[in-house]
């Protein structure tokens, strides 16, 4: 199974590419096309198909290619936006709705696992949130009170499952964990068994129309009455790009010498915070830990994030082997809650689910439940709370749209000799750099074998300059999180196309 970076996640290991069985009908008008074959897209597709809608999932790469393949798969009744913050921004009713939505999401996981007999390492665990100083302890008290108001099961505890000194701790019961790609593959099979269609390597390129939408893809045209963008962030140009900031998070799956694996999910209260859990995969137990988050493309040495995470873990754990290490992206919503519902600026039948923060797995099922209700019944108990329409227009949006409409073509017809650009010779294998030549910027990467890749560093989404992510060997855009391979191929949107290739001739 491929994913959107050079590092291998635990969830890719021993996981072949998904092989769809049903084929699509070019003459059919589907009830719902879902762009994106991660956990949100596949779960939503399954619920809608079971509700009698004819659905097609169009995935630009392969199932779980994006953040589903890079998550650490915590299922929680609490969110990164803690209940104290939610209470102050969305009131008591909003807090209770979030509590109810998270519980319903976790129940849906359980229901699927039972109904489809899914072997995905599902385990229910307690989730511990602990403070390590006075300020955090005061905040923890507020979170505890707001969590109780939200109606979620929470209590104070004097024990935590990680060997870290703490001041105070609360425990949320009934949390859970899964192997995400095995879970998604099982749901995809159930979706196909119910008559749904999955198209992989199928990029949605353009959408036109109103009641019936015409969708151009690289695999042909599709027709649908409804479209859902379950692509992590919607492609193209949208107000939500101003309201969702892209972040990277770093994770490791390690084996321990002394078998001191945490029995539970644990989180400290730093910003960014560290998180821990244990998962057994194919007979091997792993401690999965993560943290060191930063804004996408705001860290010039992403390898150093892994090093910091490793040295932090070694302080508390007797590590035998670092079996897997990987990073992944998430989008932080500006007011703390996800955006699920009608996509502003589009016809009424175009929907989105984005801004999940670090709670993508839990939100995937909240989104599936909410979007299914909105499409089948026209209303959802959570519709108002998560409505993307709560976003107010921002200054500069019109210019942003105008700017973004331009296609970035700077190097068409131009060729450079390797000797023209001095920095090429200076570039060590495995190194990347953005250099200036003749007034133009060129992004260069030399792979370990000395092969040179040259692309235009101007992001085709809205013309920000991409930065090199040395850990995942990708060009990442700091503005709205588009990511590209070393060759410039589009990995994840909102850009709809890759970076422009620059022609550099190798001289003998
Ligand atoms: Fe918007 Fe790059 S993602 S400019």
State the Cα–Cα distance between residues 293 and 291, nearest whole angstrom. Answer: 5
486 and 349: one domain?
A: no
Task: Determine whether the shortest distance from the Cβ of 480 to ligand 1 is under 6 A.
Answer: yes
| 3-state SS assignment for residue 139 | helix
- Looking at the fold, whether 307 and 426 belong to one and the same domain comes out as no
Give the CATH number for residue 362: 3.50.50.60
Q: Is the CB–ligand 1 distance for residue 493 below 6 Å?
A: no
Which amino acid residue places its CA nearest to atom 3 of ligand 1? 480
Are 263 and 321 contained in the same domain? yes
User: How far apart (Å, rounded) are the C-alpha atoms in residues 64 and 67?
Assistant: 7
Site to probe by mutation for ligand 1, drawn from 459, 465, 475, 490 as the one with most ligand atoms within 8 Å of Cβ, is: 459
Q: Is the C-beta atom of 233 inside 6 A of ligand 1?
A: no
Q: Decide the pairing of beta strands 29-35 and 220-229.
A: parallel
So what's the pLDDT on residue 436?
84
Provide the number of structural domains found in the chain: 3
Residue 86 domain-assigned? no
Low pLDDT (below 50) residues in the chain: none
How far, rounded to the nearest angstrom, does the alpha carbon of residue 317 sit from its chain's CA centroid? 28
Q: How many separate helices (H) and strands (E) can be counted in the chain?
A: 9, 26
State in Å: Cα 476 to ligand 1 middle. Answer: 9
Residue nearest to atom 4 of ligand 1 (CA): 462
- 464 C-alpha vs ligand 1 centroid, how far in Å? 6
Q: Considering Cα of 209, then 496, then 345, then 233, what sign does the dihedral take? A: positive
Say whether both 38 and 145 belong to one domain: no
Ligand 1 within 6 A of CB of 239: no
Task: Please check whether residue 501 lies inside any domain of the structure.
Answer: yes
| Distance in Å, CA 479 to ligand 1 centroid | 5
Residue 23 domain-assigned (yes or no): no
Distance 418 CA to ligand 1 centre (A): 29
Answer yes or no: is 110 within a domain. Answer: no
In the listed set 312, 328, 344, which residue is the last one of a domain according to the structure? 328
22 falls within a domain: no
CATH code, domain with 482: 2.102.10.10
Cα separation, 342 vs 346, in Å, equals 8
- Cα of 455 vs centre of ligand 1, distance in Å, is 16
Query: Cβ(49)–Cβ(71) under 8 Å?
Result: no
Candidate of 234, 247, 296, 462 to mutate for ligand 1, largest count of ligand atoms within 8 Å of Cβ: 462
Q: 483: Cβ below 6 Å to ligand 1? A: no
Residues written for the chain? 508
Q: Within 10 Å of residue 1's Cβ, how many Cβ atoms?
A: 20
Nearest atom, ligand 1, residue 459 CA: 2
Do residue 252 and residue 311 come from a single domain? yes
Q: For residue range 489-501, what is the model confidence (pLDDT) as tens digits?
A: 999 989 999 999 9
Ligand 1 closest atom vs CA 464: 4
Residue 474 CB–ligand 1 contact under 6 Å: no
**Rounded distance between C-alpha atoms, residue 92 and residue 431, angstroms:** 52
Identify the CA nearest to 177 among candidates 123, 128, 129.
123
Same domain, 228 and 345: yes
Q: Please tell me whether residues 430 and 305 are part of one structural domain.
A: no
Name the residue among 20, 148, 19, 166 with its Cα closest to residue 92.
148
The CATH number of whichever domain residue 298 belongs to comes to: 3.30.9.10
91: in domain: no
**Whether residues 324 and 280 fall in one domain:** yes
DSSP state of 465: B
Measured CA distances, 218 to 4, 9, 59, 62, 65 (Å): 19, 28, 11, 14, 18
SS3 content of the chain, % helix, strand, coil (to 5): 25, 30, 40
Whole-angstrom distance, CA of residue 31 vs CA of residue 33: 7
- Residues near 355 by Cβ (< 8 Å), separated by ≥ 6? 240, 243, 244, 331, 332, 333, 337, 338, 339
Distance CA 324, CA 315 (A): 19
CA of 451 to the centre of ligand 1 (A): 27
Q: Distance between CA 310 and CA 26 in Å, rounded? A: 50
User: What is the whole-number distance in angstroms between the Cα of residue 181 and the centre of ligand 1?
Assistant: 28
Which token pair is 161? 């499952």
Q: What is the mean pLDDT of the chain?
A: 93
Structure tokens at 38: 């991660």
- Determine contact, residues 354/338, Cβ cutoff 8 Å: yes
Cα-to-centroid distance, 463 and ligand 1 (Å): 6
> Which two structure tokens, joined as six digits, stand for 125?
């665990």
Q: Which atom of ligand 1 is nearest to the CA of 462?
A: 4
The residue segments making up the domain with residue 437 are 415-505
Distance 411 CA to ligand 1 centre (A): 19
Would you say 190 and 116 are in contact if contact means Cβ atoms under 8 Å apart?
A: yes
- Give me the pLDDT at residue 406, please: 53
Residue 255 CA to residue 260 CA, distance in Å, equals 10
Residues 187 and 297 in one domain: no
351 sits in which H/E element:
strand 350-354
Domain boundary among 278, 312, 328: 328
Per the domain annotation, does 401 fall within a domain?
no
From the CB of 461, is ligand 1 less than 6 Å away? Answer: yes
Q: Give me 231's structure tokens.
A: 């692509």
Look up residue 373 and give its two tokens. Answer: 């209700």
Asked whether residue 39 falls in the same domain as residue 53, the answer is yes
First to last CA, the chain: 39
User: What pLDDT was estimated at residue 505?
Assistant: 78
Q: Report which ligand 1 atom has the smallest distance to the Cα of 494.
A: 3
Test site for ligand 1: of 480, 483, 496, 499, most ligand atoms within 8 A of the Cβ: 480
Torsion-angle region of 174 (φ positive above 0: left; ψ -120 to 50: alpha; else: beta): left
What is the pTM for the complete model shown? 0.94
- Token pair belonging to 482: 């588009």
Q: Are residues 160 and 267 in the same domain?
A: yes
Is residue 368 included in any domain, yes or no? yes
Same-domain check for residues 342 and 231: yes
Cα 403 from chain centre: 26
Residue 391 CB less than 6 A away from ligand 1:
no
């Amino acid at each position: 199974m491929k994913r959107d970076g050079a590092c291998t996640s635990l969830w890719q290991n021993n996981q072949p590419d998904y092989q769809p069985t049903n084929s699509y009908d070019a003459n059919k008008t589907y009830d719902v096309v879902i762009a994106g074959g991660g956990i949100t897209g596949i779960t939503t597709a399954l619920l809608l198909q079971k509700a009698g809608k004819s659905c097609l999932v169009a995935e630009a790469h392969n199932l779980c290619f994006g953040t589903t393949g890079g998550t650490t798969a915590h299922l929680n009744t609490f969110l990164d936006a803690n209940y104290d913050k939610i209470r102050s921004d969305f009131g008591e009713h909003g807090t209770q709705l979030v509590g109810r939505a998270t519980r319903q999401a976790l129940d849906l996981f359980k229901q699927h696992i039972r109904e489809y007999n899914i072997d995905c390492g599902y385990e229910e665990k307690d989730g511990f949130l602990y403070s390590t100083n006075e300020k955090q302890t005061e905040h923890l008290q507020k979170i505890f009170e707001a969590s109780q108001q939200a109606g979620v099961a929470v209590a104070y505890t004097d024990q935590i499952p990680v060997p870290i000194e703490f001041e105070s701790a609360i425990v949320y019961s009934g949390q859970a964990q899964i192997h995400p790609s095995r879970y998604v593959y099982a749901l995809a099979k159930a979706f196909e068994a119910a008559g749904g269609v999955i198209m992989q390597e199928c990029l949605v390129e353009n959408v036109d129309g109103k009641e019936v939408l015409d969708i151009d893809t690289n695999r042909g045209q599709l027709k649908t009455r409804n479209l859902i963008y379950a692509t992590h962030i919607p492609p193209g140009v949208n107000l939500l790009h101003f309201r969702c900031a892209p972040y990277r998070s770093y994770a490791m799956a390690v084996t321990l010498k002394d078998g001191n694996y945490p029995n539970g999910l644990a989180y400290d209260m730093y910003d960014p915070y560290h998180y821990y859990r244990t998962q057994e995969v194919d007979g091997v137990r792993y401690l999965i830990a993560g943290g060191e988050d930063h804004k996408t493309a705001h860290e010039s040495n992403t390898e150093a994030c892994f090093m910091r995470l490793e040295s932090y873990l070694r302080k508390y754990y007797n590590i035998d082997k670092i079996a897997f290490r990987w990073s992944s992206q998430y989008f932080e919503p500006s007011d703390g809650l996800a955006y699920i519902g009608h996509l502003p600026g589009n016809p009424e039948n175009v929907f989105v689910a984005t801004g999940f923060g670090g709670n993508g797995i839990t939100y995937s099922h909240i989104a599936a439940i909410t979007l299914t209700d909105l499409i089948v019944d026209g209303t959802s108990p959570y519709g108002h709370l998560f409505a993307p329409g709560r976003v107010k227009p921002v200054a500069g949006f019109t210019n942003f749209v105008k700017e973004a409409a331009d296609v970035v073509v700077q190097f068409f017809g131009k060729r450079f000799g390797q000797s023209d650009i001095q920095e090429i010779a200076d570039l060590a294998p495995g190194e990347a750099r953005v250099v200036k030549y003749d007034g133009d910027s060129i992004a260069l990467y030399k792979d370990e074998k000395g092969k040179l890749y040259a692309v235009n560093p101007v992001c085709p989404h809205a013309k920000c300059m991409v930065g090199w992510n040395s850990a995942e060997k990708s060009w990442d855009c700091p503005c709205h999180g588009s990511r590209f391979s070393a060759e410039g191929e589009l990995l994840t949107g909102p850009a709809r196309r890759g970076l422009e290739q620059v022609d550099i001739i190798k001289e003998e």
